[in-house]
Chain A
Amino acid sequence: NAGVMQNPRHLVRRRGQEARLRCSPMKGHSHVYWYRQLPEEGLKFMVYLQKENIIDESGMPKERFSAEFPKEGPSILRIQQVVRGDSAAYFCASSPPSRAYEQYFGPGTRLTVT
């Protein structure tokens, strides 16, 4: 059973460009979470999704950030018009429906904005 997969692992964008981060949950997991870790800081929750639904987006910045988890395909975290402050590691986690406490994390995508 493959773990949570994220791609790309490293992404470089110029200021003003768009960044798309992908997350494929573990097989059988229908819950996806996105977290952000700024340099030298702790992990911060961003958004929690189930298939085709955003359940909790209390940690998402109000502008430029969006997330989706379509019926088919990976979950996407989209950052429009990136700024230097968006440079961070973005981690995706998934959990099975019956054990939401047991979140399995992917290796992360390291976004660098130049």
Chain B
Amino acid sequence: DAKTTQPTSMDCAEGRAANLPCNHSTISGNEYVYWYRQIHSQGPQYIIHGLKNNETNEMASLIITEDRKSSTLILPHATLRDTAVYYCIVRVANGNKLVFGAGTILRVKS
């Protein structure tokens, strides 16, 4: 699975959009980008995933660059409950295990 690079931490004002970047310059053509988050002391939560097209669901949007070497997770209106560690994971679709890096600590502040 390709390695990802994320900033250690980010702050975001409540109600504003949170944009979390992820670099995955060695991604292969058959690898997807997945995002999970872990709110303090809870189990990780699946957010969204994509291959090359931008994706949107009720939680977030995922923007993947045309060369697929980086992506951005967007939380359109961050709330205090979005404070968590966000993990960007790259792997093939039929893979089984998730390889978690250090992730980005997102702090949403009022």
Contacts and interface: CB of A to CB of B under 8 A. Distances in A.
Contact of A107 (B43, B95, B99, B103): B43
B31 to A, nearest CB: 11
A102 B91 CA distance: 12
A91 B43 contact: yes
Interface string B38-52: 100111111001000
A56 B45 CA distance: 22
A104 B98 CA distance: 12
B34 interface: yes
B97 interface: yes
Interface residues of A, number: 25
Interface in B76-110: 91, 93-103
A106 B95 contact: no
Please provide the 9 A-B residue pairs with the shortest distance between their CB atoms, ordered closest to farther: A105-B43, A45-B97, A43-B100, A48-B96, A42-B100, A105-B44, A91-B43, A106-B43, A102-B46
Interface residues of B, number: 22
Interface of A is mostly: strand
Given A101-B49, A103-B98, 13 more contacts: A33-B96, A43-B38, A45-B98, A55-B96, A56-B96, A59-B97, A101-B91, A103-B44, A104-B46, A105-B44, A106-B43, A107-B43, A108-B41
Contact of B34 (A59, A101, A105): A101
B87 to A, nearest CB: 8
Given A101-B32, A102-B46, A42 B101 contact: yes
Contacts of B45: 105
Interface of B: 32, 34, 38, 41-46, 49, 91, 93-103
A29 interface: no
A4 interface: yes
Q: Which residue of A43, A48, A107 has the most chain B CB atoms within 10 A of its CB atom? A: A43
A100 B100 contact: no
A22 interface: no
Given A33-B96, A55-B96, A56-B96, A103 B101 contact: no
